[in-house]
Structure 1
Amino acid sequence: MEFGNFIRLLLRHKYILIAVPVLAVIITYFLVRNQPDVYSSQGQIATGIVDQTQQVLNSQDVQESKISQEFSNLIQMMRSKRILDQVSYRLMIHDLTSERPFKKPSKLLNEIGDNARRHALQVYTDMYKKRGTLSLFNPDQNGLNKLLESMGYDDKSLLKTLLIYRAENSDFINVQYDAGNPEEAAFVVNTLCKEFISYYTSIVKENQHRAVTFLGRLLQEKQDSLNSKTRQLQQYKINNRVLSLAEQAKTLYGQLSEYENQREEALKDAVTTGAAINRIDDQFDPRDRQYRESSMTRLNVQITELDQQLKAANDAYIESGFDEAYKEKADSLQRVYARKIQQSSDKYILNPLTTKQNLVQSKTDLQTQNTIAKASVGTIDRELSRLNSRFDQLVPHEAVIGSFEKDIEVAQQEYLALLSKYNQVSMEANFDVQLRQVVTAMPGLAQPSKKMLLVIIGGVVSFVFCVIVLFVIFFLDNTVKTSKELANRTKIPVLGHLNLLNNSVIDFKRIWDTNEGNEKTRQFKNLLRSVRYEIDNELNGEDKVLLVNSLQPGEGKTLLSVSLAYSHAIINQKVLLIDGNFEDSGITDTVKPQLFLEDFLKDKLTVEELNPSTLLNVWGNRGGDISLFEIRSEERVKQKFAELRKHFDIIIIESSALNTLNRSKEWVTVADKVVAVFESGQNITETIKPNINYLKSIRPKFIGWVLNKVEGENATKKRKRT
């Protein structure tokens, strides 16, 4: 597909490209010349969505996408049928009650009577008050809806000239309406703004009231749940005598730590005193021990009794939790015990073994300390066991109380979040809706006329439409029109092309003998010379038999055969033109020859007839349902044509088309070279592709195409073999 071919297609249809736009301009002019003037009116609504001066409760920044979504919702609500129906009702109520209606009564409105008018007014008024919609399933309301449509007041008619948009990135929504009456335009804009604000306010307040009621009920439920969980925790503490679990655990832990430290000190004292006693025992002699035991029997009895009393006092002191009263008793016994020990030492002070008596006194003191330390360890262990038991009893309470406190914390968080939401919604419900009309629509001036623009658009659109139609035709056109296209589509060389002649009868003698004739005739002669030259280059000295056929009948085989024969006779070559098309004997019917091919093949022609003196000789055929080899055998036919080669410089044979199957192929076996005629403007279909493949299979005998009946500029192009 070439752009140049499309341009030539446009030039061929230039009169259509001129006539259609002119006609469209004329029709458009007559259609729009009586159109009424258009008046436009504008109003403006402030939404408060992005105006920070109106933001009281919500001061958070909102994303631009969220803002755009809110504006889109508002605009779609203004364009909704519910709001537009309110405007339609107001328009109809005005025209039915006012002495100066906005529009002339429609044909349908003029046809109804006064009773019907009053009924319509009543229904429109009721629907307006209820914000209702006419039901098309109700015959009466369906008729009233048709009345709206006849007046052009229905929602679809209003939307045709109604423009609602956000003013750039501002807080305002602009409302514009065009009408044939300036007062009607202002009335529609103001009514639409008023009805929208009223409807939006009502649904917002209703939704807020429902939200406050719902949140209040839910808040009470959350409060009851929180109180219930708190009471459960309190009752559990009372039943299990738990005041403050954390404080109790802290106190017990402190006591456990203190007793652990005392136990470690007691164990350390027991070990150290025991070691000291062992060292003193090592220093006593058995004789000294006997003396000491005999002299101190009575005193030792007293010391032993005091030792037991002192041990009992220490145990009571530890078990009482280190009460001071028990401590004083233990200290008193300790002093008495010390005096008895001192008496024991003083009684035997003059004993020669006084030094060892000191050791005995030290050992006695150490034994007392060791006894006290060991007794303290047992008492402390019992107290530790008691404290650990009490501490273990606190663990289950900790798990239960922790679960209660976690539930109370979650319930408290839910309650506080819901309380915050409830307070916010309650405050919002007490504020007025932020929507308000800030610019009231006024009757506007007439808009500039668009009649001339419509006329120009009509012409341009019609011109573009014609170009598009021609382009579609050009794009879908797969026919072959030039030699280059034929060569590219078939992959077979093209010897040349012949232009289309409109003559019903072609006088070849006049074409070649004179320079007369029109431009197409002279062009045909020049193109034929080129084809003759290409064919002569393909024919060598021995190749004299040229077969002319085609893919289908009627493509111009007869014209090419006769033209080639006459053009070769002009250059003084002895030419034999044979009509080999038995089905459609075009040459025979045109020339009316005296000699026939059948006579030659059946040896009925004399030597003089085979070697005539004229340069151009024509043999016809008698036609009929017959083929070449049915007249004589293939071998005999080849012998006869070998004889003809001796008498003629070139033999041109027209055969039937290739769609006749073997009739044309029989001539191919006889011919030296084959040339095929292809008609311009023909498409290469699936039915003729097998014949094209056959021609490719017989190359180099098949030398190429001759494109016939080329029209227009395609025929005037410089011929170039492809």
Structure 2
Amino acid sequence: MELYLIFRALYKKKFWLLLIMVVAMAVAYLLAARYDNLYQSVTKIATGFTVTNQLDPDDRVGGFYETDIKFNNLIENINSPIVVNQVAYRLMIHDLSEKEPFRQPLNSKGEPLLSEKEKLKYLSAFKAKLRNMEMLDLNKEEDKDLFRVLKAYGYSEKSLREAYYVARNGFTDYLTISATTDHPQLSAYIVNTIFEEFARYNNSLNIVQASETVERLDSLLKAKQWAKEQALEEYKQYQHAANLLDVDIEGDAALKQISSLEEKITDEEAKIRRAELALADVEAKIAKLEEEKKGNASSISAGNLSVRRLNQALLMLEQRRKRNPSNQAILDSIVLINTELSRMGVVGGGGLNIAARLEEAYDLRSEYKTQIATSTQTLENLRMRLRAVAGSKSTFAQKGARIKLLQENLDLASKEYEEVLQRYNKVLESKNMMSGIKQVIAGQPAQESQRMKRILITLIAGAGALMLAVMVIFLLEFLDNSMRTPTIFSQQTKIPLLAVLPEISRKNSAEEAVTIAPTVSKEATPPKVVLTSGFSFGSTKANNAHVLQLFRENIRLLRHELDTSGKKVILFTSFRKGDGKTMVIRSLANALVKSGRKVLLLDLNFSDNALTEAYTAKNKIEKILETGSYLASDAQSTYVGPIQVIGCNKSNCSPVETIQLAALQRFIKYCSQLYDYILIESADMAQHSDAMELAPVAERIICIGASYHTLDRTDRANIERLKKPNGIFMGGVLNRVNPENMHL
């Protein structure tokens, strides 16, 4: 639907869009009038930058970046001041010497600017400048004079730069030089002369220097190549003589061997120290045992005799115990003999064990001595191997230093050779650059002026203006958040939509809108129709009968909603001031009257009593509630008989500050017995809280909103407040809708 609204907005503004496009095209056509007298000539130049030589395998085209740099450098050289000045000299020589010059400026008297004598003078000066390829030096008076002549003829550097341009044709190998002037022959002469002067300048300067540089670099390249070959040969000879395959690998192997030998020597020294400590301990133990052996030698024989006797007695007791196991005396004797044998075994056994312990100590001493001797021999062998490897490492280090020095010399010679070779290749490339730059298409005089360009500019301007206008309208419609359609209203408010009322002319009163013929009573005052101000769509046809009929049908739809609700007291409020609340109430009242209902209009909009002013109601609610007498005569009869109106005085006070709600409720209850409907108008919710204060006296609440308003945070908060009081909020009415948006 959004796209539909946008396209419809574009269609409605089609005449404005057409007018903008026509104005833009007219302005562009006038501004481009100069192209009717301009002629363009073009020459194409092949550079050879992107073409390879198929017969030369070493010929390679550089990357995109390198190629782009070449083209940029070439364009800058063509646009260089020296080339532009040479072209200017050629143009002046042509105009001063030819019978049909391109330009012949006049002085203020309409005569030729230069006399014949002056022409010869300047012709000689420009030829000298051209021959010597000199630029003008404005510090010299004669060059200043030449510059003034160039400027008078329109051949100054600035004028020529504005007349031509040089550009690459896309990603091709070609350059295009284009010149546009008021003379077809002049345009062709400029483009051809630019290439000729560029070629002459480049040949006289760059190529000569490149040739001299090639000779110098060629001899230098040969010298560097010889030095590189000598360094390589010396490196290979020494490597072969020293039997070195790889300095780094062999050096790492020698270091690993030395490290392994040092670890083994450390291990053997640790073994020797441990064996020596163990041997010292065994020697001390042997000395101690030998002393014990000498002290116990005298007691060994006596002890052995006593032990034999006790053993014999113990053997006899054991035999007796077997025959008489329960004899306690035998058992006690066995225990005593065992105790004595144990005691004697400690003393005598120690003497018997000393020999065995000494023998064991002697064996350990022999073993440790053997181990020490073996480890000492192994340690000596390892040290000899370490000295040999260390000696070879020293020799290898000297060889490695020598080979590294030779390698560095070789690397330096190779680097110098590569640098000279690169410089040599670049010089050759610059030397041969001009051989690839050729003029493939010479500039020809244009047969027609640039009139088609004027037409093209006009069309582009019209299309651009149209697109810009469309984008602006599209953006405005896209950013429009107003409730301009019923769908948008429902999406933004999320409340039931009771009716959609189209925008009608302010000239139509509420009574005319529902086509009820006025029946004015004798006491009734003619109505004074005063509508609140509001926005009116420019595209709405005010007095269109179809729009009025659409308004009537939707008022009837609202009347039907009231009939089906079964409630009499209806409170009307609005989002903003000017939403058309009074117009809707009056139109609805007339529709109710037309269906045979009796209606009371109660104006409680104290801030803007438009309903009171519309019917010029004399009876005011404040006075009625003060007296407390609720008579039918309190309601003023309007010019439509069944409609009764009670107005209010205009003030800045809210309802609870002006009247008592309890008294108002009693009055409305009384009036409910006399009328079918009581329609109450309250102030808008944007600036007033009247609707919230009057909610207790109403049976239903209806909120009216204008389609051109945008719902903001305050409006959404007010909607939530209306939904709270006992579910009496009935819904909303979308008013002043563009008839074309009624069904969207």
What is the TM-score normalised by the length of structure 2?
Answer: 0.62
In structure 2, distance between residues paired with 1:60 and 1:510: 91
Distance 1:687 1:436 in 2: 76
Please name the residue that 2:2 is paired with.
2
Written as runs of structure 1 = structure 2, the 5 A alignment for 1:28-177 is 28-32=28-32, 35-49=35-49, 59-62=58-61, 65=64, 68-69=67-68, 72-77=71-76, 80-82=79-81, 85-86=84-85, 89-90=88-89, 93-94=92-93, 97=96, 100-103=100-103, 105=105, 151=154, 154=157, 158=161, 162=165, 164-166=167-169, 169=172, 172-177=174-179
CA contact (8 A) 1:88 1:153 kept: no
- Matches of 1:7 and 1:474, distance apart in 2: 10
Deviation at 1:406, TM superposition (A): 4.2
Equivalent in the alignment of 1:485: 488
Q: Retained in 1: the 8 A contact 2:700–2:728? A: yes
Q: Is the 8 A contact 1:83 1:195 kept in 2?
A: no
Separation (CA, whole Å) in 2 of partners of 1:703 and 1:107: 90
Q: CA deviation at 1:596?
A: 2.3
Report Cα offsets for 1:58-79 as digits up to 9, x if no partner: 8433356377436533553356
Equivalent pair of 1:105/1:151 in contact (CA under 8 Å): no
Q: Deviations over 1:461-509 (max 9, x none)?
A: 3333332222222123222212211111122222112222223351616
CA distance in 2: counterparts of 1:97 and 1:512, whole angstroms: 93
Give, in whole Å, the separation in 2 of the partners of 1:639 and 1:126: 117
Equivalent residue for 1:13?
A: 13
Partner of 1:664: 691
Distance 2:38 2:188 in 1: 13
Contact 1:222 1:411 in 2 (8 A): no
Quick one: which of 178, 181, 184 aligns to 1:182?
A: 184
How many aligned positions are there?
Answer: 560
Aligned to 1:472: 475
Partner of 1:441: 443
Mapped partners of 1:425, 1:455: distance in 2: 49
1:708 Cα shift? 1.6
Return the letter of the residue paired with 1:41: S
Q: 1:83 to 1:544 in 2, by over 3 A?
A: farther
Q: CA 1:609–1:233 in structure 2 vs 1: closer, same or farther (change >3 Å)?
A: closer
Bigger mean CA deviation after superposition, 152-161 or 491-500: 152-161
**Contact 2:105–2:112 (Cα < 8 Å) also in 1:** no
| Superposed displacement of residue 391, structure 1 | 11
How many Å separate the matches in 2 of 1:699 and 1:75?
86
**What is the match of residue 722 of structure 2?**
695
Aligned-pair distance for 1:8? 2.0
Aligned equivalents of 2:23, 2:242: Cα separation in 1: 101
Say if 2:53 and 2:59, in contact at 8 Å, map to a contact too: no
2:200 aligns with: 198
1:561 match: 585
Equivalent runs, 1:634-645 vs 2, <5 Å: 634-645=661-672
1:208-247 residue pairs with structure 2 within 5 A? 209=212, 213=216
* Greater Cα offset, 571-580 or 543-552: 543-552
1:328 aligned residue: none
What amino acid is aligned across from residue 501 of structure 2 in structure 1? Answer: L
C-alpha deviation, 1:619, in angstroms: 0.8
Amino acid at match of 2:8: R
DSSP 3-state at the match of 2:571: strand
Shift of 1:513: 3.5
Contact 1:219 1:418 (8 Å CA) reproduced:
no
Superposed CA deviations along residues 560-580 of structure 1, whole A, max 9, x for unmatched, are 111111111111111100111
Aligned match for 2:620, one of 569, 575, 596: 596
| Structure 1 residue 650: Cα displacement | 0.9
Which of 569, 574, 581 aligns to 1:545? It is 569
Aligned to 2:375: none
Relative to structure 2, which stretch is displaced further, 667-676 or 208-217? Answer: 208-217
Q: Is the 8 A contact 2:220 2:420 kept in 1?
A: no
- The answer to whether the Cα contact below 8 Å between 2:602 and 2:679 also exists between their aligned partners in 1 is yes
Paired with 1:711 and 1:65, the residues of 2 have a C-alpha distance of 60
Counterparts of 1:562-577 in structure 2, within 5 Å, are: 562-577=586-601
Q: Distance in 1 between matches of 2:179 and 2:9?
A: 47
The answer to whether the aligner puts 1:496 opposite 2:523 as a matched pair is: no
Larger C-alpha radius of gyration, 1 or 2? 1
Contact 2:547 2:739 in 1 (8 A): no
**Pair 1:209–1:226, CA change in 2 (3 A):** same
- TM-score normalised by the chain length of structure 1: 0.64
Contact 1:576 1:618 in 2 (8 A): yes
**1:675 — aligned with what?**
702
Distance change >3 Å, CA 424–CA 488, structure 1 → 2: closer
Contact 1:579 1:655 in 2 (8 A): yes
Structure 2: distance between partners of 1:437 and 1:31: 35
Q: Summarize the alignment of residues 143-542 of structure 1 with structure 2, pairs less than 5 Å apart.
A: 151=154, 154=157, 158=161, 162=165, 164-166=167-169, 169=172, 172-201=174-203, 202-203=205-206, 205-206=208-209, 209=212, 213=216, 402=403, 405-406=406-407, 409-410=410-411, 413=414, 433-434=434-435, 435-446=437-448, 449-450=451-452, 451-504=454-507, 506=509, 508=511, 511-513=514-516, 518-537=545-564, 539-540=565-566
Closer, same or farther: CA 416–707 of 1 in aligned 2, 3 Å: closer
Distance 1:217 1:110 in 2: 66
* Percent identity over paired residues: 20
Against the structure 1 CA distance between its residues 222 and 507, is the aligned structure 2 distance closer, same or farther, given a 3 Å change threshold? closer
The SS at the match of 2:36 is coil
Tell me how large the CA RMSD over aligned residues is: 5.1
